[in-house]
Amino acid sequence: MPLIREEDKKFLMQEFEKHLKNDVDLVIFTSENSDCKYCKETVELAEEVSEINKKIHLLKYDFDKDKEAVKAYDVEKFPATIVAEHGKKDGRIKYYGIPSGYEFGSLIEDLKNVSSNEVEVSSKAMEVVSKIDKPIKIKVYVTPTCPYCPRAVGTAHKFAILNKNITGEMVESLEFEQEAEEVGVSSVPHIVINGEVQFVGAYPDDQFAEYVLEAYNNHPSS
């Protein structure tokens, strides 16, 4: 049984027709490991999305066997879904765990944004993001039923599109329960930047950018 309903497919067909400009890669890392709860569904979802428009190219890798790809896309766990410009091994826009529920909308937005290479952020956020000249990793811990989480994921991913030094990762807290516990996730969205600056909530992008700047300033260039 398909994961995407027929009426949703029709809607996505129109959306992609309207917004996809350049080809885009949808990259999946899964494993045959029995620990991977939603590997099968993650692949199915990506296959169904990629079938809707020919500009979406699906690439499938095995986390345990395809070590070169794991390194190239900087993948740490599975299942992982990555949206990248076509032909570029770029792992800056990631989903760890199945991008389902409310996060399915985030995935669709990423495909449109990466394809057009255009995102809208406030001038204040743009000012901060443009000055980042060293690696910043933003992890956004979510659950599929959290209606506010896509906003935080979307902001992290927009920042990653705007600046190649920024990586935005969605982490599904229920699939990666131990990691979420270690970080101290009790409500979502819970954001962790460079492993130290943390906040909870779907903040406007200019406030979100202030936390990015704090993480950036914590480690001045030597």
Cα separation, 198 vs 215, in Å, equals 9
Structure tokens at 168: 């935005």
Is the entire prediction scored with pTM above 0.85? Answer: yes
CB atoms within 10 A of CB 141: 29
Considering 87, 116, 145, which residue would you say is the last residue of a domain?
116
Q: Domain total for the chain?
A: 2
Give the separation between CA 13 and CA 70, rounded to whole angstroms: 31
Q: Are 193 and 211 in contact (CB under 8 A)?
A: yes
Burial class (CB in 10 A: 0-12, 13-18, 19+), 66: middle
In a domain, 150, yes or no: yes
pLDDT score of 221? 57
Identify whether residues 13 and 111 lie together within a single domain. Answer: yes
The CA–CA distances, whole Å, from 100 to 18, 180, 215 equal 23, 18, 29
Query: Would you state the pLDDT for residue 222?
Result: 42
Same domain, 18 and 88: yes
Q: Which helix (H) or strand (E) holds 27?
A: strand 24-30
Do 137 and 203 have their domain in common?
A: yes
Residue 106 has a pLDDT of: 96
Q: Are 129 and 70 in the same domain?
A: no
Yes or no: say if 82 and 72 are a contact pair by the CB < 8 Å rule. Answer: no
Buried b (16+ CB within 10 A) or exposed e, 78-111: bbbbbbbbeeebbbbbbbbbbbbbbbbebbbbbb
- Asked if 138 and 211 sit in the same domain, the reply is yes
Closest to 132 measured CA to CA, from 66, 68, 218: 218
The residues pairing with 94 across neighbouring beta strands, listed in sequence order, are 82, 169
Compute the half-sphere exposure of residue 70: CA atoms within 13 Å on the CB side of its CA: 13
**Those residues with Cβ within 8 angstroms of residue 82's Cβ, 6 or more apart along the chain or in another chain:** 25, 26, 27, 28, 29, 73, 75, 90, 91, 93, 94, 95
- What are the pLDDT tens digits along the chain (222 aa)? 889 989 999 999 999 999 999 999 999 999 998 888 899 999 999 999 999 999 999 999 999 999 999 999 999 999 999 999 999 999 999 999 999 999 999 999 999 999 999 899 999 999 999 999 999 999 999 999 999 999 999 999 999 999 999 999 999 999 999 999 999 999 999 999 999 999 999 999 999 999 999 999 997 654
Q: How high is the pLDDT of residue 220?
A: 62
For residue 1, tell me if it sits in a domain. no
What is the span of the domain harbouring residue 147?
123-218
- 171, part of any domain: yes
Q: Is residue 67 part of a domain?
A: yes
In a domain, 197, yes or no: yes
Query: Residue 82 sits in a domain of what CATH number?
Result: 3.40.30.10
For residue 80, tell me if it sits in a domain. Answer: yes
